[in-house]
Amino acid sequence: MDFLSNLVNGISLGSIYAVIALGYTMVYGIAKMLNFAHGDIIMVGAYVCFYAVYHFGLPGWAGVLLAMLLCLILGVAVERLAYRPLRRADSLAVLITAIGVSYFLENTAQLVFGANNVFFPNLFEAEPIRLFDGRLVISVVTLASIGICMAVMVILTLFIEKTKLGKAMRAVSEDKDAARLMGISVDRTISVTFAIGSALAALAGVLLCSAIPSLSPMTGSMPGIKAFTAAVFGGIGSIPGALLGGLLLGVIEVMGKAYISTQLSDAIVFLVLIIVLLVRPTGILGKKVQEKV
C-alpha cells in the first residue's frame, strides 16, 4: 500500500514537473534557447493567483486565468526586452541573460511580495479520493495536474502539427533565415512561443503551490531546475519527451526518498539523469539531428 501511495505521490509531483518541462522544451525547441527564467515565471504566476484569491477574494479559476494572462504578458515582455536584442548574439550570451533575468525576477519578487513564505490557499475544495480505508489518498490536485498535463500535451502537439502558426514555429525551429525568406515573421513566432510557454508556467505555478502550499520568491527555482532536468531527460525539444521525463523524474524522486534515503533523493535524481545522458545523449525520446554541412 505504501508503494502505491508513493507511486501516486510520485506521479502527482511528476505531472507538475511535466507541465513546467513542457514550457521549457517548447521554448527550447523553437527559439533554441534555454529560458532559465521559466522557473521564476512560475513563482510570479503563483503569487498573482495567491493575491487574487487571498486578498481580492476572486474565485480560484479567475485567479488562475489572471495569473496566466499576466504571466503571458510578462513572458512576452521578457522576450522583447531581454532576448530579442540578442537574437544574433551567440547562445552563451543569451544563456547568461536568461540567468540574469531569473535573478532579476527573484529579487524583484522579494521586494514586491516580501521575503516571508506565504501559505497558498486551497483552490480545489473537493474532498480527496480515499481508497483502502484511507490508506491511499488521491487528492484532487493530483488528478487535476495529471489531467491538465495530458491535455496540455495533446493541445500543444495538435497546435504545432496542425495549425499555420504551428507550422511557422517548426519552420523557425529548423532554420530561421529560410523561414524569414518564406515570409514568416520570426520575431512574432518566437513571441507567441514565449506567450504560450509563460502562460503554461503560470498554470504550473498554481498546480505546484496547490500541491505544496508554501510560496516564496525562491519557490520556482528548484522545480525549475528539476523540470529542466526532466526536459533533458525526456529529450529536450520533444513534447512527449517532456511529459515522460517529468513523470519519471517525479516517481524516481519520491521512490528514492521512500526506499533509499530521504537525504539523497536529489542526488539519486541527478545520478539517473547522468546515466541516461551517458547512454542516450539526446534523452529518451530525443531525435538525433544530423548537421548538414
Partner 1 sequence: MKKKLAWLMLAAMVVTVLLSGCGTKNSNTFKIGMTGPLTGGAAQYGIAAQRGAQIAVEEINAKGGIQFELKVEDDTHDAEKAANAYNALIDWGMQISLGSVTSTPCEATARIAAAEKIFALTPSASSTSVTKAGGGYQFQICFSDPNQGSASAVYIKNKGLATKVAIIYKNDDVYSTGIYESFKTKAAELGLSVVSETSFNDDTDTDFSVQVAAARTAGADLIFLPMYYEPASLIFAECNKIGYTPKFFGVDGMDGILTMKGFDTKLAEGVMLLTPFAADASDAKTKSFVQKYQEKYGEIPIQFAADGYDCIYAIYEALQKCDAKASMTAAEIGALLKDTFTSSSFSFSGLTGSGMTWNAAGEVTKDPKGMEIKNGAYVGLD
Do the beta carbons of residue 160 and residue 239 sit within 8 Å? Answer: yes
Which residue is associated with the grid cell 521512490? 255
Core vs surface per residue 174-201: b (16+ CB within 10 A) or e: eebeebeeeebebeebbbbbbbbbbbbb
Q: Which residues contact 203 (CB under 8 A, 6 or more apart)?
A: 19, 45, 64, 67, 68, 148, 152
Closest among 36, 17, 11, 22 to 242, alpha carbons compared = 22
What angle do helix axes 91-113 and 38-54 make, rounded to 10 degrees?
20
Do the beta carbons of residue 241 and residue 250 sit within 8 Å? Answer: no
Nearer to partner 1 (CB atom), residue 55 or residue 292? 55
Count interface residues toward partner 1 (CB under 8 A): 36
Q: Applying CB under 8 A, which part among 97-105, 129-137, 147-155, 162-170 lies near partner 1?
A: 129-137
Site map 73..102 versus partner 1, x via CB under 8 A? ------------------------------
Residue 103 interacts with partner 1 (CB under 8 A): yes or no: no
Site map 200..219 versus partner 1, x via CB under 8 A? -----------xxxx-x-x-
Contact pick of 56, 85, 93, 117 for partner 1 (by CB under 8 A): 117
Site map 235..274 versus partner 1, x via CB under 8 A? ------------------xx--xx---xx-xx--------
Binding site for partner 1 (CB under 8 A): 2, 5-6, 9, 13, 50, 54, 110, 114-121, 128, 130, 134, 137, 139, 211-214, 216, 218, 222, 253-254, 257-258, 262-263, 265-266
